[in-house]
Amino acid sequence: TILVLDFGSQYSHLIIRRLREFNVYAEMLPCTQKISELPFKPVGIILSGGPYSVYEEGSPHVDHAIFDLNVPILGICYGMQELAWINGKGVGRGEKREYGPAIVNVTDNSCPLFNGVNNSQVWMSHNDKLISLPTGFKTVATTDNSPFAGIASIEKPIFGLQFHPEVTHSLQGKILLKNFAVDICKAKQNWTMQNFIDTEIKRIRTLVGPTAEVIGAVSGGVDSTVGAKLMKEAIGDRFHAIYVDNGLMRKNETVTVKKTLDEGLGINLTVVDAGDEFLGNLKGITDPEKKRKIIGNTFIHVFERVSEEIKPKDGSKIEFLLQGTLYPDVIESISFKGPSQTIKTHHNVGGLLEDMKLKLIEPLRELFKDEVRALGKILGIPDELVWRHPFPGPGIGIRVLGEVTPSQVKIAREADYIFIEEIKAHGLYNNISQAFAALLPVKSVGVVGDQRTYEQVIALRAIETTDFMTADWYVFEAAFLKKVASRIVNEVDGVARVTYDITSKPPATVEWE
């Protein structure tokens, strides 16, 4: 295992991702990790980039005991500056900030880190730089702006890079990381998805033990389905999946979930129809965050009630709650800075742990979204589900703007169904990250035949994104939009007008509420 110590760079998780591309396993811990308390013995350490200045008070610093481990070390950007700071303090502010591409010149061909790397484009993102060579180091690469773009210790396998080898814009970055991990650290190249499944199933079995039971909510989305299937493989029917129909799901969702999970994948599934309860609790509520809270709390309530009902009769206990946490969620919470500011409250199940005294089980916490999909495929989950767009927990509840009533939900649901149906029919579904229809609480005048109408407005939204933190709207052909608009106005009662949302995130968010 390679240890990545995270100083909070937006690219830190990419280091882990790149290493896995050549089957090397790495784990990330906060940069302040005490080395004496490491949960494993790494074969090498990578210090990530970060948004701080090493010379400023309050900036994070690494435990110097990393050097006592006698394993190779690679510092990237801030990580390199940290190595320099420890070895002579030669770090300062560059005359110019440097963001974007630069050409690296390899000046020392004997350096094993640069083995097989030519002069090529690398990606820079820094304010600070080395102003002198740290004691005991030599220069191995330069760029026009950075005379110390690559440095290496003369005596030890310790290296520093001013640029970011982990981003794909550093064209030969992967070779550098591979040289470090495989040739220099001698890390094993044994991380494969099948391996991951085998180890994870063993880990789940040990954790849960021979009798305890596990419950988990499934939503019809890829993460919860993959998590549930993995649990099923590990402990069979001692895993109970609960699907709560909150009355805010997409059209035909409940039937489809039953079919795929229960009949198709053999998961021990309980379906609960709680639509009336959710819609009852939402009566009169228009504030988005209040809606989220009510939906979240109602969910917890229903979930607890149902898990009481399915309690195993033989005296064994439900001890764990499955959660489909992915790696990017984990990163948010381990960073030195702490979790980033909450724009919207997304998580629905947090309260369950305390209320029900359950322990958390998160089999996907090391995976990225595309890896969850790959895992889903190996586990036999149908392609349709594996490639499904994400759907928010509060569902149509935050896509009906203003008060959520059964008739409003119906309008939004029908319009959404038509939009997605057309997207699929035109072969566009997999080009789009997420698409949906929102129902606006305004009325607009229209004319149908000789009749004046006065009905509501549907806003269509379709976005492209890699991480949902930033997103751009999808450019449809005019003919496509024309067809969708015409179908919605003609087929959905209560809609007089259809609009298409052409706002990026930021400044807008993906959802309308």
* Binding-site residues for ATP: 219-225
Stretch that binds ligand XMP, among 131-139, 307-315, 366-374, 503-511 (CB under 6 A): 503-511
CB of 44 to ligand XMP, least distance (A): 35
- Tallying the residues shown for the chain, one arrives at 513
| Options 13, 250, 292, 399; binder of ligand XMP; rule CB under 6 A | 292
| Options 179, 325, 434, 456; binder of ligand XMP; rule CB under 6 A | 434
Catalytic option among 82, 98, 126, 164: 164
Catalytic option among 31, 77, 111, 185: 77
Contacts of 374 (CB under 8 A, 6+ apart): 193
CB of 436 to ligand XMP, least distance (A): 8
Do strands 2-6 and 26-30 pair parallel, antiparallel, or not at all (unpaired)?
Answer: parallel
Residue whose CB is less far from ligand XMP, 43 or 510:
510
332 is a catalytic site residue:
no
Binding residues, by number, are 219-225
Cis peptide leading into 39, omega within 30 of 0?
Answer: no
Based on the shown chain and the rule CB under 6 A, indicate whether residue 369 belongs to the binding site for ligand XMP.
no
Q: Is 94 exposed, middle or buried (0-12, 13-18, 19+ CB in 10 A)?
A: middle
CB 304 within 8 A of CB 201: no
Tell me how many helices (H) and strands (E) the chain has: 14, 18
Helical H segments across 163-312, by residue range: 173-178, 193-208, 222-235, 253-257, 275-282, 288-309
77 is a catalytic site residue:
yes
> Which residue in 290, 241, 284 sits closest to 262, CA to CA?
241
Based on the shown chain and the rule CB under 6 A, indicate whether residue 468 belongs to the binding site for ligand XMP.
yes
CB of 447 to ligand XMP, least distance (A): 34
By CB under 6 A, the count of residues binding ligand XMP is 14
Q: Is 5 left (phi over 0), alpha (psi -120 to 50) or beta?
A: beta
Based on the shown chain and the rule CB under 6 A, indicate whether residue 377 belongs to the binding site for ligand XMP.
no
3-state secondary structure of 164: coil
CB of 10 to ligand XMP, least distance (A): 17
Query: What character string, x for contact with ligand XMP (CB under 6 A) and - otherwise, covers 386-425?
Result: ----x-xxx-------------------------------
Cis peptide leading into 101, omega within 30 of 0?
Answer: no
166 is a catalytic site residue:
yes
CB of 329 to ligand XMP, least distance (A): 11
Tell me which residues are annotated as active site: 77, 164, 166
Contacting residues toward ligand XMP, per CB under 6 A: 292, 343-344, 346, 390, 392-394, 434, 468, 505, 509-511
